[in-house]
Amino acid sequence: MSTPRSASQRVLSNRVFLWLCLCAINIAVVVLAVLLISIVWQGWGTLSWQFLGNFASRKPSEAGIAASLWGSVWVCTICGVVALPLGIGTAVFLEEFAKKSRFTRIVQTNIMNLAGVPSIVYGILGLTAFARMFGVLGTNADDALSWGDSESLWYVRLPFGSSVLAGGLTLMLVILPVVIISTQEALRSVPGSLRAGAMALGATRWQTVWGITLPAAIPGIMTGAILSMSRAIGESAPLLVLGGILLVFNTPQNLMSDFAILPLQIYNWAGRPQPAFHEIAASAIMVQLVVLLAFNGVAVLIRQKLQKPLQ
Amino acid sequence: MNTLSLIASLTLLATSSGVHARTQDAAPLKGAIKIDGSSTVYPITEAVAEEFNKSEKKVRVTVGISGTGGGFKRFCAGEVDIADASRPIKKAEAEAAAKSGVEFVELPIAYDGLTIVVHPKNTWCSSLTLADVKKIYSASGTAKLWKDINPTWPAVAIKVYSPGTDSGTFDYFKEVTVGKDGAIRSDISVSEDDNVLVRGVAGDENSIGFFGCAYYFENKEQLKAVGIDNGKGVIMPTVDTIENGSYTPFSRPLFIYINKASAARPEVEAFVAFYLAHATELVNEVGYVKLPAAIYAKVANNWKLRRIGTQFTTAAGDAVTTPLAQAYE
């Protein structure tokens, strides 16, 4: 402190700071509350089991979100199931196993950069890599290599085309950098003394990671997972590039099924001229929020199950 | 593969008795129809697919909304069977199709009348000539105040609204007002969501905007449509004037393009036949305007003959901007 200040001055600045913080949180909460209330106000009346079970229709009263709801659930489940192990594995390798070298530095820089890439770019990558497989297997879906009956759960074909699997993998690309970075941060926050203690007792590096470091880092990892899954559910640009399907009269049956997603359905309804479509768009937003909370709920559950108290 | 024999038998079927040969006791159709393209055309295709799905449950119809350009990209690569388009195919796109061996049939299916609107309290402006519209919207336009168009109008600034520059609506408007090489003013309020434009114009007494007629028909009490004075009297945008072509030049045709190879598949054949048979009723229901019966007859004939190529290019392959009624007379 260069200039000594009186006690009352310091108390005043403390109070001002407190008020600024309160304002900040209130603005955030009020905006969210206004948004939620207006959505529920608009969408509650048209939300029904029929709305959840019907397919798209030109009549707002008969339109439903069965296809886009289950499309979103399939795509996000695939995305989470692939991205979390892959992302956490990468982070564990970079933090706990890899020696700091020029190679790991390049990888690290690239991951940082990828986290800032607009998601539509991943859409183009997903289209090329997963949906078309670089065109080496032909572009026509009828010529694809396939295994199994197209109606069965285990049907697989190459290239994937604009299927739920291609969609999930594309979203995986979008969230992978975020998962890796947040996992790394969580691992770094685990005190080094814990690792050293485990090593001193003769544990291998793997035993240390599995028994000590990962359980201690689970809260941070799962927070990262929640944030990235929330992003995946709301993402529409990469999937628009991938196929942008809006109307489909089936819920996904297998990994190769065509799919629609909720954000695209909401966007389309909200842009229609008829006000009745705006109302069902609001209902779909409510469903989307529930799906989002459900996915996050799973992450919270995993966190509670896996978290071991540090002693 | 049995595709060849299928095509052969279908050609026989098509030549002998046409699409109506399918009888009630015929085996239900199977297969998949992939459609992609304009989100403007989407409501029509959605309505047709919805009705088609009621009778042909085994056919998996998917409709995407990648936009007219995105749809054509996939269509010309042979990835989708049908492209929804809010403008005719461009020369470069047709060339891409030819390169990958895709032949297509072009079918106009509806009109979207671009409606120019002002605030209901705007008492002075009830019609504009094309030259006036150009004065307001073109980059070199001189009309910044309402007074600049007509000296008896108030000397207040015109607040100009327009759909996003990526939209087909904007493209079409630009082409008929300032031409292909012209430019629209940049100091205007732009939104990709036409509902935002509706709210914008409805909330500002000195504003002007334009969008598809469906948005005007749904918000008639909040907006005032401006008639177009094309020298032969003022024409208001109504279902009738758009359909009979007198509301020029702002009646914009909407299309579907069908891959000729896909058209040989029974499910695609049935779907397109269903589309043409039900277009008149469904088009109006979702807020667009049906084409005159004469054009539908011509379109149905083009489909029957599988007439390939677009009617909007010259013999040399250059794009032309002809009104639909002329191109399909």
Q: Which of A75-84, A149-158, B47-56 has the lowest mean pLDDT?
A: A149-158
- The verdict on a CB contact (< 8 Å) between A270 and B193 is yes
For the record, the structure tokens of A198 come out as: 């485990």
B61, B195, B218 ranked by CB distance to A271: nearest: B195
Can you tell me the distance from the alpha carbon of B279 to that of B84, in angstroms, rounded to the nearest whole number?
14
Instruction: Measure the CA–CA gap between A90 and A181, rounded to whole angstroms.
Output: 10
Q: What mean pLDDT is predicted for residues A228-257?
A: 88
| Distance of alpha carbon A41 from alpha carbon B298, whole angstroms | 49
Does residue B326 surpass a pLDDT of 60? Answer: yes
For the residues B265-277, what does the mean pLDDT come to?
94
Lowest mean pLDDT among B81-90, B217-226, B296-305, B315-324: B315-324
pLDDT at B7 over 60: no
pLDDT of residue A188: 94
Report CA A119 to chain centroid distance, whole Å: 12
Share of residues in chain B with pLDDT > 90 (%): 55
Under DSSP, the state recorded for B40 is T
Both tokens of residue A88?
A: 């956490």
Q: Is position A117 within any domain? A: yes
Tell me what pLDDT residue B18 has: 40
What's the rounded mean pLDDT across residues A166-195? Answer: 94
Burial track A144-178 (b if 16+ CB lie within 10 A, e otherwise): beeeeeeeeeebbbebbbbbbbbbbbbbbbbbbbb
- Within-domain flag for A258: yes
Is the per-residue pLDDT at B79 higher than 80?
Answer: yes
Residue A248 pLDDT > 50 = yes
> Looking at chain A, which residue has its C-alpha nearest residue B199?
A273
* Adjacent-strand bridge partners of B159: B207
Which residue blocks in chain B are alpha helix, DSSP H? 3-17, 42-55, 67-76, 91-99, 130-137, 168-177, 194-202, 213-218, 239-243, 260-263, 266-285, 293-305, 324-327
pLDDT of residue A245: 85
Q: What is the pLDDT of residues B277-295, one digit of tens each?
A: 999 999 999 989 999 999 9
**pLDDT tens digits, one per residue of B82-127:** 999 998 898 899 999 999 899 999 999 999 989 999 999 999 999 9
Q: Measure CA of the first residue to CA of the last residue in chain B; give whole Å.
A: 41
pLDDT of residue A141: 54
For the domain that residue A179 is a member of, what is the CATH number? 1.10.3720.10
Give the whole-angstrom CA distance, residue B85 versus residue B94: 13
Cross-chain residue pair A273–B195, CB shorter than 8 Å? yes
Copy the structure tokens of residue B3.
């595709």
Q: How far apart, in Å, are the Cα atoms of B188 and each of B122, B159, B163, B171, B273?
A: 19, 7, 10, 16, 43
Q: Which of A57, A241, A264 sits opposite B50 (nearest CB)?
A: A57
Residue A151, domain member (yes or no) = yes
Q: Does the structure show a pLDDT above 60 at B23?
A: no
| Long-range own/partner contacts, residues B315-323 (CB < 8 A, 24 or more apart) | B317/B91, B317/B94, B318/B91, B319/B88, B319/B90, B319/B91, B321/B175, B321/B176, B321/B180, B323/B245, B323/B248, B323/B249, B323/B251
Q: What is the mean pLDDT of residues A156-184?
A: 92
The confidence score (pLDDT) of residue B258 equals 96
Binning pLDDT at 50, 70 and 90, where does residue B4 land? Answer: very low
The token pair that represents B155 in the structure block = 């000397």
Domain membership of residue A165 as a residue range: 47-306
Residue owning tokens 């028994």: A211
- What band does B164 get if pLDDT is binned at 50, 70 and 90? confident
Residue A14 within a domain? no
Identify the CA nearest to A119 among candidates A284, A234, A260. A234
Question: Which comes out higher in pLDDT, residue A86 or B28?
Answer: A86
pLDDT above 70 coverage of chain A, percent = 95
Q: Taking CA atoms, what residue in A is nearest to B216?
A: A273
In a domain, A9, yes or no: no
Quote the mean pLDDT of chain A.
89
Q: Using CA atoms in the order A16, A17, A20, A26, what is the torsion angle rounded to 10 degrees?
A: -110
Banded pLDDT at B28 (limits 50, 70, 90) = confident
Range in A111-120, A154-163, A263-272 the model is least confident about: A154-163
A135 touches chain B (CB under 8 A): no
Task: Tell me: cis bond preceding A309? Omega within 30 of 0 counts.
Answer: no
List, as own/partner pairs, every contact residues B22-25 make where C-beta atoms lie below 8 angstroms and the sequence separation is at least 24, other chains included: B22/B266, B22/B270
Distance of alpha carbon A132 from alpha carbon A136, whole angstroms = 8
Query: Is 50 exceeded by the pLDDT of residue A103?
Result: yes
Global pTM reads 0.85
Residue A17 predicted with pLDDT over 50 = yes
* Mutation site, A272, A277, A278, interface B, largest B CB count within 10 A: A272
Residue A132: the pLDDT is 84
Alpha carbon separation from B177 to B28, B150, B259, B260 (Å, rounded) = 49, 19, 32, 35
B217 neighbourhood in chain A, CB within 8 Å:
273
- Residue A3 belongs to some domain of the structure: no
- What confidence category does residue B13 fall into, taking pLDDT thresholds of 50, 70 and 90? very low
Helix (H) or strand (E) holding A1: none
How many domains does the structure of chain A reveal? Answer: 1
From the number of C-beta atoms within 10 Å of its C-beta (0-12, 13-18, 19+), residue B64 rates as buried
Task: Tell me what pLDDT residue B311 has.
Answer: 83
CB nearest to A139's CB, from B39, B70, B78: B78
Query: Could you give the domains of chain B?
Result: 3-111+253-327 (3.40.190.10), 113-243 (3.40.190.10)
For A247, the closest chain B residue by CA position comes to: B63
**Given an 8 Å threshold on Cβ–Cβ distance, is A258 in contact with B212?**
no
Within 8 A by CB and 6+ apart from B261, the residues are B78, B102, B103
Contact B65 A250 (CB under 8 A): no
> What does the pLDDT average to over B238-260?
90
Q: Is residue A293 part of a domain?
A: yes
Q: Which residue spans within chain A are E strands per DSSP?
A: 145-147, 156-158, 245-248
8 A C-beta contact, residue A133 and residue A158? yes
Is the residue at A125 inside a domain?
yes
